[in-house]
Amino acid sequence: MNLMNILLDNQNSAAVGQIAKNFGLSESAARDAIADMAPALMRGMQRNTASPEGLEQLTGALSKGNHQRYVDQPETLAEESTLADGNAILGHLFGSKDVSREVASHAAGSTGLDEGLLKKMLPVVASLVMGSMSKQATAGGTSSADGSDGGLLGQLLDRDGDGSVMDDIMGMAGRFLR
């Protein structure tokens, strides 16, 4: 299952509705904005998980960060703590506010929504992405021995896009054990 399917599926419909409400958007406009910004977040995660330290930090955040609450309790997406958490996630993923601004600017061009609104929305979307990943990870996000159908974490680790993460993990291990 890919990132867009997970973020925009029925399991997250209440969260998407909450984001729409928070930012005065229709659910359709919120879905479009999420769909446009999420791939940049995923690329940031892929870049971070390219190192053993980054992968360890992500798995630690997924297991200890209580991000699942953003899916299970969508009303938390309206809280200030969600914004702070989202900004911390963005800082970790992008390392620069300039990258966040570029993501919002690109999304504004694609969706026709106000860039300022999307800048405010991006940290909440980052929180929802982490919440979705956390929920999937606690539900057994990698369902097969070879890492195929590994959900979002599998997508992050499957660098060559062949549907299996084992070759990619072995390659990463080989690079770092030299």
pLDDT tens track for 46-77:
888 888 888 888 888 877 878 889 989 999 99
Could you please report the per-residue DSSP string of 82-149?
Answer: HHHHHHHHHHHHHSSHHHHHHHHHHHHHHH---HHHHHHHHHHHHHHHHHHHHHHHHT-S--STT-TT
- pLDDT for position 176: 45
**Structural domain boundaries, residue 67:** 3-176
Closest CA to 12 of 53, 57, 59, 73: 73
Q: Which residue has the tokens 């606690």?
A: 138
3-state class of 79 per DSSP?
Answer: coil
In contact, 110 and 29? CB cutoff 8 Å: no
Query: Would you tell me how many other CB atoms lie within 10 Å of the CB of residue 57?
Result: 14
Closest CA to 122 of 155, 83, 95: 83
The average pLDDT across 76-89 equals 94
Domain count, the chain: 1
CA 53 to chain centre: 18
Which of 53-67, 138-152, 154-168 is the least confident region?
A: 138-152
How many whole angstroms separate alpha carbon 130 and alpha carbon 112? Answer: 26
- pLDDT for position 5: 62
One-letter identity of residue 155: Q
Answer whether residue 147 shows pLDDT above 60: no
- pLDDT for position 124: 96
pLDDT tens track for 88-120:
999 988 988 999 999 999 999 999 999 999 999
Answer whether residue 143 shows pLDDT above 80: no
